[in-house]
Amino acid sequence: MDKEKIISVQNLTKQFGNFTAVKGISFDVYKGEIFGFLGANGAGKTTAMKMLIGISNPTSGEANVAGFDVHTQAEMVKKSIGYMSQKFSMYDDLTIKENITFFGGIYGLSRIQIKQKIAQLVEELQLQDVVNNLVGSLPLGWKQKLSFSVALLHEPKIVFLDEPTGGVDPITRRQFWEMIYTQAYKGTTIFVTTHYMDEAEYCDRVSIMVDGAIEALDSPKNLKEQFKVDSMNDVFLKLARNIE
Amino acid sequence: MSIQVQNISKSYNKIKAVENITFDVNDGELFGLIGPDGAGKTTIFRILTTLLLANEGSATVAGFDVITHLKEIRNSVGYMPGKFSLYQDLTVEENLDFFATIFGTTIEENYDLIKDIYVQIEPFKTRRAGALSGGMKQKLALCCALIHKPKVLFLDEPTTGVDPVSRKEFWIMLKRLQKKGITILVSTPYMDEASLCDRIALIQKGKILKIDSPENIINNYEKIIYDVQAKNTHGLIHDLKNYPNQYSVFAFGEFIHYIDKKADFNPNDLHDYLKNKNHTDIVIKPAIITIEDVFMDL
């Protein structure tokens, strides 16, 4: 049986003036996969991701995300995905409960659904003592876990995570990845960017962007074999160096 | 001694940012403050660069007291804050010129010190700082912090959010500066960078947990860590956590780092247990210990 494609990208290109940020990239992501989207600063990751989540119109090429065309059905794309920004983007001066209620409302959940979600998240993240505290007062690690859960409130098929673990302590970083694994196991597709190369090893498949193009795409194991190195860090260094 | 910190504490309202911190940095040393966000690293930097007063304790930098001799300190240190703090609407060259002038020097006078770094951004010297890429901003900020030839260089998370290639290059630059006799205090949340420092302080929640060379910290770690691998990583983590006598289970790249509570732990027993749980392609072997392992066990 063929694996179900949840993201399908063909020759996707984005130009800003005479600068081409994304140069005709093509790839597929399958349902329930953890897909690592790596690249150096300025390689075009963020631009590519913005096109996939429907907030930037491609100059040319095609992309289908969760069954919708990013050109013509950008609003449907937005409804079908979750997105967690690298910059914490919940309201610091609202409580945890108020934030969940707010984002639940934005995603079109009913009052009853929101109530159920709050109860579920409080239980899963053990927020019993802090649910009425301002989000701004939470440690970074909790904020990240909460952001992730909020990005999943409307049970999207795909969740996009943009450097979700930057600056987080090593234990929380791993707890975060366990949440990712659990979610992928339930069938949610995870599309994640990171600068931690050990995290690249946790992905099912990894793509590496260099200078606007995808220079490598495979499982971490195959990439290491292909480049004859022991770690994803070395794969990354090798790829980026070869270009220079 | 380039930096001496004794029993420094600092609170913001009721929150203790740093608590009773003591450490020394030797002349010419590359010393790392290693810890996650919120550990208190920036507070320490701000106290040592005379931008913030401690509630308790004392500190000297380049031989000067941080309270009574702040002007001397400001002339002898370079500080690169975690947040990009140059003038976004000045060009690369204008920024550098500005900082040189403020410190009563010129770009030409100390060009030797910044040359290696500056040549990489020189092609863009007429570009506004705000329009630079992350890696170039970082290099410009470092040049500006160096332009008055400081004795001590403070770098607060210079590599956060920077890709692995640029991070590697940045550390090569730091090593070169160190060879020129500059003492460097650097903070980072990346544990792999810890091994590049002469000595490190592991810091969490405002307290220093350990100070030593990276080699000693690793060599003094007493527990045995095993690399465990199987086809289904998610299931493997779950099953390892349920193994009797497990002490800790953490993902480490392609392997899981497993520590057992029992001294007479036999890897073959674990192998059988995992086999019974239907795991395939099982690998169990002693792991190479890293600073991150030690940090997580403190």
Digit-coded pLDDT (tens) for A175-197: 999 999 999 989 999 999 998 88
Residue with tokens 């098929």: A157
Q: In angstroms, rounded to a whole number, what is the distance separating the alpha carbons of residues B283 and B298?
A: 27
Answer positive or negative: Cα dihedral of B78, B84, B85, B90.
Answer: positive
Please indicate whether, in this complex, the C-beta atoms of A181 and B253 are within 8 angstroms of each other.
no
Other CB atoms within a 10 A radius of the CB of residue B223 amount to 13
Nearest by CB to residue B296, choosing from A171, A197, A237, is: A171
Mean pLDDT of B112-130: 92
Please count the CA atoms within 13 angstroms of the CA of A171 that sit on its side-chain side. Answer: 10
**Does B252 contact A198 at a Cβ distance shorter than 8 Å?**
yes
Helix axes A96-106, A111-125, angle to 10 degrees: 130
Q: Which residues contact A135 (CB under 8 A, 6 or more apart)?
A: A90, A91, A92, A93, A94, A95, A96, A99, A143, A146
Can B3-219 and B226-296 be said to share one CATH topology?
no
Strands B56-61 and B207-212: unpaired
Mean pLDDT of chain B: 93
Residue with tokens 């901003």, as numbered in its chain: B137
How much is the average pLDDT of B112-123?
91
Residue of B157, B162, B191 with shortest CB distance to A170 = B191
**B148-169 tens-digit pLDDT:** 999 999 999 998 878 888 888 8
Q: Which residues in chain A are closer than 8 Å to B233, comparing Cβ atoms?
A: 181, 202
**Predicted pLDDT of residue A207:** 96
Q: Do the chains contact at A140 and B37, CB–CB below 8 Å?
A: yes
Per CB-CB distance under 8 Å, the chain A contacts of B292 are 170
Show me where the domains of chain A are located. Answer: 37-44+82-243
Q: Are A3 and A31 in contact (CB under 8 A)?
A: yes
CATH of B3-219, one of 3.90.245.10, 2.102.10.10, 3.40.50.300, 3.40.50.970: 3.40.50.300
Residue B117 confidence (pLDDT) above 60: yes
Put simply, the answer to whether B254 touches A221 (Cβ < 8 Å) is yes
What H or E segment, with its residue span, contains residue A81?
A: strand A81-84
Residues of B engaging A, defined by a Cβ cutoff of 8 Å: 35-39, 133-135, 157, 160-168, 189-192, 204, 233-234, 237, 250-254, 292, 295-296
CA pair distance A112, A115, nearest whole angstrom:
5
Of the candidates A86, A167, A174, the beta carbon closest to that of B36 is on: A167
Given a contact cutoff of 8 angstroms between Cβ atoms, the answer to whether A125 and A179 are in contact is no
**Is the distance from CB of B16 to CB of B206 less than 8 angstroms?**
yes
Distance of CA B7 to the CA centre of its chain: 21
Q: How does residue A121 score in pLDDT terms, banded at 50, 70 and 90? A: very high
- Over residues A154-164, the mean pLDDT reads 94
pLDDT of A2 strictly over 70:
no
CB A12 within 8 A of CB A22: yes
Show me where the domains of chain B are located.
Answer: 3-219, 226-296
> What number of C-beta contacts closer than 8 Å exist between A and B?
93
Predicted pLDDT of residue B210: 94
d(CA A16, CA A190): 28
- In A, which residues are within 8 Å of B192 by CB distance? 233
Averaged pLDDT, A103-111: 94
ipTM above 0.85? no
CATH entry, A37-44+82-243, from 6.10.140.120, 3.90.1150.10, 3.30.460.10, 3.40.50.300: 3.40.50.300
Burial status of residue A160 (CB atoms within 10 A of its CB: 0-12, 13-18, 19 or more): buried
Task: Name the one residue in this structure whose structure tokens are 């941080």.
Answer: B66
Please answer whether residues A8 and A64 qualify as being in contact, where contact means their C-beta atoms are separated by less than 8 angstroms: yes
Instruction: Determine the Cα–Cα distance for residues A193 and A200; give it in Å rounded to an integer.
Output: 9
Q: For tokens 């910190």, what's the residue?
A: B5
Residue entry with tokens 């205090």: B185
Q: Indicate whether B118 pLDDT > 90.
A: yes
Which of the residues B12, B34, B37 would you substitute to probe the A interface, choosing the one with the greatest number of A C-beta atoms within 10 Å? B37
pLDDT, tens digit (0-9, with 9 covering 90-100), for B9-46: 999 988 899 999 999 999 999 999 998 888 999 999 99
**What does the pLDDT read at residue B35?**
87
Judge whether A146 and A125 are in contact, CB under 8 Å. Answer: yes
- Yes or no: say if A90 and A76 are a contact pair by the CB < 8 Å rule: no
In sequence order, what are the residues at sequence separation of 6 or more whose Cβ sits closer than 8 angstroms to the Cβ of residue B186? B30, B31, B32, B33, B154, B155, B158, B174, B197
Query: Comparing C-alpha atoms, which of B132, B156, B173, B137 is closest to residue B77?
Result: B156
Task: Report the pLDDT averaged over residues B63-81.
Answer: 95
pLDDT score of A242: 58
Considering only CB atoms, B251 lies closest to which of A139, A141, A174, namely A174
Range B267-281 average pLDDT: 95
Rg of chain B on CA atoms, in Å: 23
pLDDT at B166: 84
Report chain A's mean pLDDT, rounded to a whole number: 92
H or E, element range at B76: helix B70-76
Q: Pick A40's closest partner by Cβ from B160, B166, B296.
A: B166
CATH class of residue range B226-296 = alpha beta
- Distance from the Cα of A64 to chain B's closest Cα (Å) equals 28
